[in-house]
């Protein structure tokens, strides 16, 4: 156990002479306000389900992907139906995300709700009828510690990941970032059973590349794989001002999702 924490918590430094590869969505700008206001956003989202946090410094980003055998992609590379419900929640439906390459069919639904008091969000992810053996990939990183000139230009970019340090304890993650005299923290809750790896943000063109990129890097981020079960929700939550545990997620999601927009 001690070795596990040592492996995950330390950000190893190295020089890289190869060309960096990182995910770039066709319309991957973070323009949808989940929490906060347009003028002072706390949580922003893209039109394809990636999320970022701002305090106002860049607190980090979460992105999702799917893997089934050799077929793997970020959700940013797939079209989806996005809408807001009457309470201001964001709902994304990815229909037939694998297309003809895996026989078609299936869907992945993301439902995202603000947690205003906790300065964060909670998200429910549900899969239905995806190809056998499909894994959900999630990646967390990019805690820059500085306010961006344009908050829409978020994401897990290598330059945002420098000096990020991660502590993982089961489903609970703490991210440490910023200058040593002004160290900041971010908390995240992720699905149990996730295989979490310290990864290289220079190499994230696909989920499989990111997951296997190795921990020796000057741009550390977390990348993980988890096995979804049809119809059974997986929850993600990232926040700054709260003390939650994963078992609380279903109740917290329902409370926030069903609350009218302030």
Determine the pLDDT at residue 28.
Answer: 75
Q: What is the mean pLDDT of residues 147-173?
A: 93
The DSSP secondary structure of 7-57, one letter per residue, reads: HHH--B-----SPPEE---TT----EEEEE-SSSEEEEE-TTS-EEEESSS
Q: What's the CA angle centered on 109, arms 104 and 110, to 5 degrees?
A: 145
Burial of residue 119 (number of CB atoms within 10 Å: 0-12, 13-18, 19+): buried
The DSSP secondary structure of 143-182, one letter per residue, reads: --SS--SSTTS-S--HHHHTT-EEEEETTEEEEEES-GGG
Q: What's the CA angle centered on 201, arms 96 and 178, to 5 degrees?
A: 120
CA neighbor of 16 nearest in space, from 178, 198, 201: 201
What is the band of 126 on the pLDDT scale with cuts at 50, 70, 90?
A: very high
Burial of residue 141 (number of CB atoms within 10 Å: 0-12, 13-18, 19+): buried
Determine the pLDDT at residue 129.
Answer: 94
Q: What is the mean pLDDT of residues 17-32?
A: 56
Q: What's the CA angle centered on 28, arms 130 and 58, to 5 degrees?
A: 110
Task: Convert the pLDDT of each residue in 42-60 to its tens digit.
Answer: 999 999 999 999 999 999 9
Cα 231 to Cα 216: distance, rounded to the nearest angstrom: 37
Burial of residue 153 (number of CB atoms within 10 Å: 0-12, 13-18, 19+): middle
Q: How far is CA 120 from CA 1, 21, 101, 117, 142, in A?
A: 29, 28, 36, 8, 16
Determine the pLDDT at residue 13.
Answer: 37
Q: Looking only at Cα atoms, what is the longest distance across the chain?
A: 54
Determine the pLDDT at residue 21.
Answer: 44
What phi, psi does 187 have (nearest 5°)?
-115, 145
Determine the pLDDT at residue 19.
Answer: 40
| More confidently predicted of 191 and 23 | 191
Residue 241 CB neighbours (<10 A)? 12
Determine the pLDDT at residue 18.
Answer: 37
Q: Is the pLDDT of residue 83 over 80?
A: yes
What is the band of 151 on the pLDDT scale with cuts at 50, 70, 90?
A: confident
What is the band of 104 on the pLDDT scale with cuts at 50, 70, 90?
A: low
Handedness of CA 195, 201, 207, 211 (dihedral sign): negative
| More confidently predicted of 37 and 93 | 93
What is the band of 262 on the pLDDT scale with cuts at 50, 70, 90?
A: low
List of residues 6+ apart from 78 with CB closer than 8 A: 48, 94, 97
Q: What is the mean pLDDT of residues 82-89?
A: 94
| More confidently predicted of 175 and 5 | 175
Q: Is the pLDDT of residue 27 over 80?
A: no
Percent of the chain with pLDDT over 70: 87
Radius of gyration of the chain from its Cα atoms, rounded to whole angstroms: 17
What is the band of 103 on the pLDDT scale with cuts at 50, 70, 90?
A: low
**pTM, full prediction:** 0.88
Architecture per CATH, domain 2-257, reads as: Distorted Sandwich (2.70)
Task: Convert the pLDDT of each residue in 171-222 to its tens digit.
Answer: 999 999 988 778 999 999 999 999 999 999 999 999 999 999 999 999 999 9
Task: Point out the least confidently predicted range of 61-70, 141-150, 223-232.
Answer: 141-150
């Amino acid at each position: 156990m001690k070795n596990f924490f040592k492996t995950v918590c330390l950000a190893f430094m190295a020089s890289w002479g190869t060309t960096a590869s990182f995910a770039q969505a066709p319309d991957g700008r973070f323009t949808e306000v989940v929490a906060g206001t347009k003028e002072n956003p706390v949580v922003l989202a893209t039109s394809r389900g990636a999320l970022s946090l701002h305090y106002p410094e860049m607190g980090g980003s979460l992105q999702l992907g799917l893997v089934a055998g050799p077929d793997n992609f970020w959700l940013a590379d797939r079209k989806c139906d996005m809408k807001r419900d009457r309470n201001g929640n964001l709902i994304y439906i990815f229909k037939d995300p694998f297309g003809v390459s895996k026989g078609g069919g299936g869907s992945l639904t993301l439902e995202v709700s603000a947690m205003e008091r906790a300065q964060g969000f909670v998200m429910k992810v549900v899969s239905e009828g995806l190809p056998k053996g499909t894994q959900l990939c999630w990646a967390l990183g990019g805690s820059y510690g500085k306010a961006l000139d344009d908050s829409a230009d978020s994401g897990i970019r290598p330059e945002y990941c420098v000096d990020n340090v991660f502590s993982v304890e089961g489903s609970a993650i703490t991210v440490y970032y910023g200058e040593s005299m002004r160290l900041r923290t971010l908390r995240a809750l992720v699905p149990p059973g996730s295989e979490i790896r310290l990864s290289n943000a220079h190499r994230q063109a696909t989920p499989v590349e990111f997951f296997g990129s190795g921990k020796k890097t000057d741009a550390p981020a977390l990348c993980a794989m988890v096995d979804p079960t049809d119809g059974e929700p997986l929850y993600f939550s990232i926040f700054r001002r709260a003390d939650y545990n994963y078992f609380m997620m279903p109740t917290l999601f329902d409370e926030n999702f069903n609350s009218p927009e302030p």
